[in-house]
Every structure is written in C-alpha cells, then in structure tokens.
Amino acid sequence: MTNDYSTEPAPPSAGSSPPGAPRSGAGSTRSRIVWFVVALACASLTARFGVWQLSRAHTKLANEALVRERSALPPMAGAGLAGDAATAEQQWQRHIALTGEWIPARTVFLMNRTMAERPGSYVMAPLRLPDGSGVIVQRGWVARDDADPLKVPALATPAGPVQLHGHVAPWPSHWIDIGHGAGGPVRQNLELAAFGAETGLALRPATVVEDANAGNAADGLRRDWPSGNGGVGVTTNYGYAVQWFAMSIAFLGLWVWLQFVRPRRPVPSDSDFPVDPRVDDQRPR
C-alpha cells in the first residue's frame, strides 16, 4: 500500500475565487460603504477646517483695510466719543484726542496679557471726561513680577486735567476667570456695567488705547500694541488652509487605494519564486 504525501495544493472548490482576485459579495460591499463614509467624514471635517482658515484670512484682510481707512480720517474730539455700543463699533480704530482727569485709585491691571511675547498686565485706567462721564483708557503694559504675580507697580499718574491721544478700540478680550476679581487692582477680566457701577461713572462702551509719545514716556509703560490681527498674518492662515486641504485629499486618496487599487494587485504565488533543482523542497514549513 502506497501512501500519498504529495504537497500539491488542493484544487479550488466551486464558487471560490482564485488567488489574487478581488473579493466580492455582500460583506465586501458593506465594508466599502463603511470605509467610504469614514473617509468622507474625515475629508469633510478637514476641508471644513481649511475653509475656516480661509475665512479667517479674509476677515483679517477686511480688518486691515478698515484700519487703514479709519486711521486716515482726522482725529475725533473727546465729545464725539460714542455713548452706545452700535455707534462705538463704527468708531473703532479712529484716532481721538481726549481731555480729562485720571482716577488713579481705580486703576486695574488685567493679568495674563502678553506684549513682545512676555507675560504681564494691561493697565486699564478710568478717565473722567469734562461732561462727567468716563472712558477706560488702556494706558500701557507692565511686565509680570515673577516672584509675586499679584504685585502691582507704582505708576506715575499726573494730577489734574491731562490731554492724551490714542485710538478707539473694543474692550479687551474676555478670559476664563480664575478667581482674581472683584474689587481688587489685579483682575482677569473687566466688565463694563460692573466697573461703571463700581466707579460711579457712566462709562462709554468703547476704550481708548493710548499712543506712545514723548509726553507719556516717563510713566515706564510699554505701548507696543499688537495689530488688529493679534500678530498673526494672513500667510499663516493660508498655510494652515493648505495643510487641511491636503489632509482632506489624503483621506480620499487612501480610501481609493485601499478599496480599488490594492485589491487588484496580484498576490504573489509559488511560481513567482525560482526553484533551485538541487534542493528538494524550498517551501517554508
């Protein structure tokens, strides 16, 4: 009796696919649909981020044009400073000349504000106008005391009527409040209504950012104010947009490769490897 130990592969059964043939059937179709939905969702999300970056760039360009347009207008008088929010928004970036009196006891230091990439505080000081109302002036910036972040420096504040020049600006951005607040000179945020009630002044809804000049150089405050774009140009936004769109294309390209290109590539078989006749069997065991 002879035993057959042949290692020849068994012939494919009926209905089976030959090696290297693309898979088919309901399972394969469902898999393609699922992966298509995943790839489409990822591509849509990254493309949306790219569109958002383009929108940011266009907004910055519009803001720059607005700043140039309003900066070219003649300076406003203090009496023309808006008393309502809608009108104040139309005056942003306008140059203005103010006359009034400082209220040094109500000066507030807004912490965690940077200038030239250094941490510090914006100095926010109320100025009483001749008509009895008030406006918050962003006088300048002071560096943070690393040993005691809540320590406030002594500021040289002139008494009596003063004249200053600056431009109209919205209130500083609101940060997450971490407990430095109410009533103290060092704060995280400054609210218009609350601070008006605290000072007893009818505050105008906009602030005035004081310009740097020879008259205020002695107070020791820095006035290298950031641009309206926060120091980030449109080139950065365009670069981010390109990256997001490239990721979107990559997700779709990867799906096409995995679902259509790769399955159609032939699977290597034993015949693709040369056999040395001096060796009985080179197949891995």
Across the range 95-102, mean pLDDT stands at 94
What's the CA gap between 266 and 20, in Å, rounded? 5
pLDDT-wise least confident of 26-35, 38-47, 59-68 = 26-35
Residue ranges of domains in the chain: 24-72+233-266, 77-225
Residue 160: C-alpha distances to residues 38, 80, 127, 264 (Å)? 68, 22, 11, 86
Structural contact between residues 86 and 119, judged by C-beta atoms closer than 8 angstroms: no
The pTM for the full model equals 0.66
Going by pLDDT thresholds of 50, 70 and 90, the confidence category of residue 282 is low
